[in-house]
């Protein structure tokens, strides 16, 4: 063999091993896989086309002339996932903690440019100590370049980040600018400043997991969309998520039929809504009965649980699912659930995924905590997101649809294409009790005996409920398109989705503008 080819083979082997066997063992001892092992699990066998394997850093300061590794601690390339192309970026913690220097960043940017020019999703597996301290401002520039590319790619190709180790400092902003974040339990964390800086700056004592562990981000901050048990599970979640999405904003999502007939009746739905209008029930029952069997895939399942967001399929077509959850805080719209819904609707609109909304909402959440926290601004996001969405919008009003929340949750007035209501729907300015107390305030105040007053209030409440808390007033105005039997919901929605499959947006005149200004 030509000695230069022999030399190449040696270098290639070296590059595959990266920082060496010991470093790989240490990575395994942390409960983590290496970058290459992760890529192998993620992509279809034999499909990975690696680029920039022989990139090296060029810093010389602080001993950097003595330590280097082929690939500069990140593996990048193009691959297939379930037969569809994607760009994969995997940071290699085994060399200098996967820290990001000039060339490491340049590799990532090149891969992202490739994803943009080819119109394929970006999957970024993070495992890094952040900006490589030895490379100073060149590291910062690298982050800047990556953030810029994240923004350029936003709404063009899906961007999915997995956090599989540290993600600290400014490094958190690349995942934050992407569309979905998967965090691996026990081994990952994300924060702007670590426990030591927190202690020094504000005197607070907290550990890594309490500050920015996966559970914290999945339940409290809403930053993590998915929680994974381990690296393998994270990769499985990414593969599943991609199966619902188109490769870019010019394509439709893939159609995957599982043999569930679109005209299947769901008789169990006729008994889901309790007779007592204030009794809770589980919205998941409705979602699962309507969608293709086993197709519901929830996003942010542990955060703002009064709203449900996710993907599903209806007769094989991907749909964006948005719902209120009467089982949790009565399904009220508060700051977090508004953010959750608005974000999901905007993602789905960007990527041509029809929006299917199930409504049972008593209104926006009252009180000083919400008002002072900015419920006005956050609640407005829901209105904005639904109004600007041009994909097919289908809405089912299951029970309560009160006040501003009725308008916000995919109403006809914000451009819904098809709105159905169950006979149990109550569409009104507010709940019957509150309405009766206002309308008949004088009559009620005139009755001094509390028991008598309560009886009178019940009578007025019933009167109001009979008049407005039903779907027929809204139906008489054409604000809803159909009143349907619950068991027919799947059949009706499948027909409506099919009817809307060639939707072209016809809008009242919109003046030219650079971009709108969603309240943030
Ligand atoms: C250079 C780094 C590094 C970094 C880790 N290493 N982070 N080298 N720059 N940012 C190196 C370590 O020196 C060590 O090298 C090896 O990686 C493994 O790190 P350990 O500390 O031994 O591992 P572990 O105990 O698992 O801790 C990992 C860690 C910790 C939590 C990531 O290393 C750490 O806290 N690093 C600093 C994190 C940080 O503050 N980053 C923010 C930088 S500023 P040896 O030679 O011993 O193997 C930033 C701002 C970006 O990111 C701004 C963009 C706008």
Distance, CA of 116 to CA of 23 (rounded, Å): 34
Distance, CA of 515 to CA of 409 (rounded, Å): 23
Supply 116's token pair.
């943009």
H/E element holding 355?
strand 355-361
3-class DSSP state for residue 122?
Answer: strand
pLDDT computed for residue 87 by the predictor:
98
Q: Are 404 and 367 in contact (CB under 8 A)?
A: no
CA of 270 to the centre of ligand 1 (A): 57
Instruction: Find out whether the beta carbon of 132 lies less than 6 Å from any atom of ligand 1.
Output: yes
Fold matches, 3-242 and 267-429+470-499: yes
Report the C-alpha dihedral over residues 304, 308, 309, 312, rounded to 10 degrees: 160
416-to-51, 337, 392, 493, 519 alpha-carbon distances in Å: 45, 20, 7, 13, 21
Instruction: Find out whether the beta carbon of 176 lies less than 6 Å from any atom of ligand 1.
Output: no
Cβ within 8 Å of residue 196, ≥6 positions away: none
What digits encode the pLDDT tens for the residues 32-91?
999 999 999 999 999 999 999 999 999 999 999 999 999 999 999 999 999 999 999 999
Q: Which atom of ligand 1 is nearest to the CA of 143?
A: 54
pLDDT computed for residue 511 by the predictor:
86
Distance, CA of 119 to CA of 469 (rounded, Å): 48
Nearest to 124 by CA among 156, 155, 97, 149: 149
DSSP-derived secondary structure for 165-200: SEEEGGGGHHHHHSSEEEEETTT-EEESS-HHHHHH
Distance, CA of 57 to CA of 322 (rounded, Å): 46
pLDDT computed for residue 468 by the predictor:
83
H/E element holding 5?
helix 3-17
Mutate to test the pocket of ligand 1, among 24, 29, 127, 130 (most ligand atoms within 8 A of CB): 130
Nearest to 53 by CA among 16, 92, 2, 105: 16
Nearest to 497 by CA among 276, 319, 296, 247: 319
pLDDT computed for residue 367 by the predictor:
97
CA of 25 to the centre of ligand 1 (A): 18
Mutate to test the pocket of ligand 1, among 129, 131, 186 (most ligand atoms within 8 A of CB): 129
CATH class of 3-242: alpha beta
Task: Name the residue with the closest Cα to ligand 1, atom 38.
Answer: 129
Q: Looking at residue 352, what DSSP letter applies?
A: T
* Every domain of the chain and the residues it spans: 3-242, 267-429+470-499, 432-468
Sign of torsion, CA 137 142 145 147? negative
pLDDT in tens, the chain (520 residues): 899 999 999 999 999 999 999 999 999 999 999 999 999 999 999 999 999 999 999 999 999 999 999 999 999 999 999 999 999 999 999 999 999 999 999 999 999 999 999 999 999 999 999 999 999 999 999 999 999 999 999 999 999 999 999 999 889 999 999 999 999 999 999 999 999 999 999 999 999 999 999 999 999 999 999 999 999 999 999 999 999 999 999 999 999 999 999 999 999 999 999 999 899 999 999 999 999 999 999 999 999 999 999 999 999 999 999 999 999 999 999 999 999 999 999 999 999 999 999 999 999 999 999 999 999 999 999 999 999 999 999 999 999 999 999 999 999 999 999 999 999 999 999 888 889 999 999 999 999 999 999 999 999 999 998 888 899 999 999 999 999 999 999 999 999 999 999 998 777 778 899 999 999 9
CATH superfamily of 267-429+470-499: 2-enoyl-CoA Hydratase; Chain A, domain 1 (3.90.226.10)
pLDDT computed for residue 466 by the predictor:
87
* Full-model pTM: 0.96
Nearest to 180 by CA among 306, 295, 350: 350
Instruction: Find out whether the beta carbon of 212 lies less than 6 Å from any atom of ligand 1.
Output: no
Q: Are 107 and 52 in contact (CB under 8 A)?
A: yes
pLDDT computed for residue 383 by the predictor:
98
Nearest to 420 by CA among 485, 344, 506, 330: 485
Task: Name the residue with the closest Cα to ligand 1, atom 45.
Answer: 96
What digits encode the pLDDT tens for the residues 85-140?
999 999 999 999 999 999 999 999 999 999 999 999 999 999 999 999 999 999 99
Tell me which residues are annotated as active site: 169-170, 404-405
Strands of the sheet with 159-163, listed across from one edge: 49-51, 74-81, 84-91, 122-126, 159-163, 180-184, 226-228
Instruction: Find out whether the beta carbon of 143 lies less than 6 Å from any atom of ligand 1.
Output: yes
Task: Name the residue with the closest Cα to ligand 1, atom 13.
Answer: 96
Cβ within 8 Å of residue 234, ≥6 positions away: 162, 164, 182, 183, 184, 226, 228
Q: How far is C-alpha 22 from the chain's CA centre?
A: 38
Q: Looking at residue 218, what DSSP letter applies?
A: I
Nearest to 142 by CA among 175, 109, 97, 172: 109
Instruction: Find out whether the beta carbon of 171 lies less than 6 Å from any atom of ligand 1.
Output: yes
Q: Which residue has the tokens 């009979």?
A: 466
């Amino acid at each position: 063999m030509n000695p230069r080819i022999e030399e190449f083979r040696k270098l290639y082997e070296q590059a595959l091993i990266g920082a060496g066997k010991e470093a790989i063992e240490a990575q395994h001892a942390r409960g983590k896989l290496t970058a290459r092992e992760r890529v192998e699990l993620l992509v279809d066998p034999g499909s990975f086309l690696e680029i920039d394997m022989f990139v090296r850093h060029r810093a010389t300061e602080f001993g950097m002339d003595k330590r280097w590794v082929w690939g500069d601690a990140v593996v990048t390339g193009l691959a297939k996932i379930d037969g569809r192309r994607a760009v994969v970026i995997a940071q290699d913690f085994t060399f200098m903690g996967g820290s990001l220097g000039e060339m490491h960043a340049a590799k990532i940017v090149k891969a992202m440019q490739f994803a943009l020019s080819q119109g394929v999703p970006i999957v970024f597996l993070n495992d890094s100590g952040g900006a490589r301290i030895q490379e100073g401002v060149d590291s910062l520039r690298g982050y800047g370049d990556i953030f810029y590319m994240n923004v350029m790619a936003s709404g063009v190709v899906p961007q999915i980040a997995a956090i599989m180790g540290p993600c600290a400092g400014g490094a958190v902003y690349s995942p934050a600018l992407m569309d979905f974040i998967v965090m691996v339990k026990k081994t990952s964390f994300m924060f702007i400043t670590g426990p030591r800086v927190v202690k020094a700056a504000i005197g607070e004592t907290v550990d890594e997991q309490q500050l920015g562990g996966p559970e914290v981000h999945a339940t409290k901050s809403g930053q993590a969309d998915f929680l994974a048990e381990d690296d393998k599970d994270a990769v499985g979640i990414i593969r599943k998520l991609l199966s619902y999405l188109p490769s870019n904003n010019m394509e439709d999502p893939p159609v995957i039929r599982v043999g569930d007939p679109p005209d299947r009746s769901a008789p169990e739905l006729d008994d889901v809504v309790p007779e007592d209008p204030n009794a809770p029930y589980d919205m998941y029952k409705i979602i699962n009965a309507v969608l293709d069997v086993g197709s519901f895939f929830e996003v942010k399942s542990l955060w703002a649980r009064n709203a449900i967001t996710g993907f599903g399929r209806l007769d094989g077509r991907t749909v964006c699912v948005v719902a209120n959850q009467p089982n949790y805080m009565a399904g009220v719209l508060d700051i977090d659930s508004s953010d959750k819904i608005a974000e999901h609707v905007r993602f789905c609109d960007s990527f041509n995924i029809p929006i299917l909304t199930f409504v049972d909402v008593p209104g926006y959440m009252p009180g000083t905590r919400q008002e002072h926290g900015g419920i006005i601004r956050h609640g407005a996001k829901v209105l904005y997101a639904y109004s600007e969405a041009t994909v097919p919008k289908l809405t089912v009003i299951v029970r309560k649809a009160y006040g501003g929340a009725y308008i916000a949750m995919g109403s006809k007035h914000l451009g819904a294409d098809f709105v159905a209501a169950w006979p149990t729907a109550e569409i009104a300015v507010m709940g019957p009790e509150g309405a009766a107390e206002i309308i008949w305030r004088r009559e009620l105040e005139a009755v001094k005996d509390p028991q008598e007053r309560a009886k009178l209030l019940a009578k007025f409440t019933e009167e109001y409920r009979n008049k407005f808390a039903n779907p027929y007033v809204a139906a008489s105005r054409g604000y809803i398109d159909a009143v349907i039997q619950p068991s027919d919901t799947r059949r009706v929605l499948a027909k409506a989705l099919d009817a809307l499959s060639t939707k072209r947006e016809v809008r009242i005149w919109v003046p030219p503008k650079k971009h709108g200004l969603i309240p943030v």
